[in-house]
């Protein structure tokens, strides 16, 4: 299905987890669940998927050695480079993509799955949908229908200005996937315009620069671990699937 295409993951894990408010200051990607780091669970999603060829990882500059030790500890053979992350998620993702380019990856024949290091529930079926979407459309944005009412507020955030039709609203997740040359060009356009670090995610950047984007069906269980309650949900999920295959059993 993806014949002739090289597939990489650009994983950005450069945050410090400020919304976790932990006294020990451990970045959230290094918090352990059942004795294993969240970043390791995330890497499992891609290391164990047969379609993924290589992983390029950008992490916080103070945690590069710890990340390299984690890669060695768990034997992640697909992780080719651990590089220093940037001042924003966008810059960290860009540095991971540049690391792939610097390693000699053919940018014109490569699909890049771009995801964050604290999203540890990405099933194989979703990865396959993303890859198929890029082959057919040139990009694939993981999404789920909005399951709560969405409001647009007044500029001060205190009043509801509008309530759009929920049937047209989707929540965008990750991976967000592009051909590698397209992803690099988007970032370089943002640098030229002085807009590096201003975009919420790659979908936001690509749409701002005029690209048509194609949605692929995600899952609600594909959570991004942002606050303490997210960690608790993930702990529960892992505990309920002692065989370790929790990702694919929730699809």
Q: pLDDT for 126-168, tens place per residue? A: 999 999 999 999 999 999 999 999 999 999 999 999 999 999 9
Of 26, 124, 100, nearest in space to 70 by CA: 26
Report residue 226 as tokens: 């942002």
Q: Indicate the SS3 state at residue 59.
A: strand
Q: Apex CA 126: angle with CA 140 and CA 210, to 5°?
A: 10
Q: Is the dihedral of CA 146, 180, 137, 209 positive or negative?
A: positive
pLDDT, position 242: 74
pLDDT, position 249: 77
pLDDT, position 113: 98
Task: Judge whether residue 101 has pLDDT over 70.
Answer: yes
Q: Apex CA 214: angle with CA 175 and CA 122, to 5°?
A: 20
pLDDT, position 15: 64
Percent of the chain topping pLDDT 90: 88
CA distances from 177 to 49, 120, 151, 180, 215 (A): 16, 17, 28, 9, 10
DSSP characters for 159-192?
SEEE---GGG-EEEEEEEEEEHHHHHHHHHHHHH
Task: Judge whether residue 47 has pLDDT over 70.
Answer: yes
Higher local confidence (pLDDT), 1 or 124: 124
pLDDT, position 19: 47
Q: How crowded is residue 196: how many other Cβ atoms within 10 Å of its Cβ?
A: 19
Give the distance between the most distant pair of CA atoms in the chain.
Answer: 52
Give residue-wise pLDDT tens across range 168-187.
999 999 999 999 999 999 99
Give residue-wise pLDDT tens across range 181-219.
999 999 999 999 999 999 999 999 999 999 999 999 999
Give residue-wise pLDDT tens across range 10-34.
999 976 544 444 445 789 999 999 9
Report residue 153 as tokens: 């507020």
pLDDT, position 23: 43
Question: Which is it for strands 79-84 and 160-162: parallel, antiparallel or unpaired?
Answer: unpaired
Taking the C-alpha atoms of residue 105 and residue 210, their distance in angstroms, rounded to an integer, is 26
Cβ-contact 4, 14 below 8 angstroms: no
- Where are the extended beta strands (E) located within the chain? 6-13, 32-33, 36-37, 54-59, 79-84, 110-116, 139-145, 152-153, 160-162, 170-179, 215-217
Burial class of 192 by CB neighbour count within 10 A (0 to 12, 13 to 18, 19+): exposed
CA distances from 191 to 20, 93, 196, 207, 222 (A): 30, 13, 5, 16, 30
Q: Apex CA 121: angle with CA 52 and CA 79, to 5°?
A: 35
Q: Give buried/exposed letters for 6-40 (b at 16+ CB in 10 A, else e).
A: bbbbbbbbbbebeebeeeeebbbbbbebeebbbbb
Task: Judge whether residue 57 has pLDDT over 90.
Answer: yes
Q: How crowded is residue 152: how many other Cβ atoms within 10 Å of its Cβ?
A: 9
């Amino acid at each position: 299905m993806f014949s002739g295409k090289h597939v990489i993951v650009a994983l950005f894990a450069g945050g410090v987890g400020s919304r976790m408010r932990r006294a020990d200051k451990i970045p959230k990607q290094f918090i352990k669940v059942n004795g294993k780091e969240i970043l390791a669970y995330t890497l499992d999603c891609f290391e164990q998927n047969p379609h993924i060829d290589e992983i390029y990882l950008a992490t916080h500059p103070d945690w590069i050695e710890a990340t390299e030790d984690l890669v060695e500890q768990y034997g992640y053979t697909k992780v080719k480079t651990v590089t220093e992350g940037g001042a924003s998620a966008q810059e960290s993702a860009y540095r991971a993509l540049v690391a792939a380019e610097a390693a000699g990856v053919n940018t014109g024949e490569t699909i890049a799955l771009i995801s964050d290091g604290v999203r540890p529930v990405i099933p194989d079926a979703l990865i396959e949908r993303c890859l198929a979407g890029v082959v057919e459309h040139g990009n694939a944005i993981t999404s789920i229908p909005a399951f709560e009412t969405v409001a647009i507020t007044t500029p001060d955030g205190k009043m509801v200005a509008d309530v759009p039709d929920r049937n047209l609203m989707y929540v965008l997740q990750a991976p967000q996937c592009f051909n590698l040359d397209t992803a690099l060009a988007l970032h370089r356009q943002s640098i030229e315009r002085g807009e590096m670090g201003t975009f919420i995610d790659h979908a936001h950047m690509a749409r701002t620069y005029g690209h048509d984007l194609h949605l692929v069906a995600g899952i609600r269980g594909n959570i991004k671990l942002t606050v303490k309650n997210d960690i608790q949900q993930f702990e529960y999920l892992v505990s309920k699937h002692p065989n370790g295959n929790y990702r694919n059993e929730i699809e």
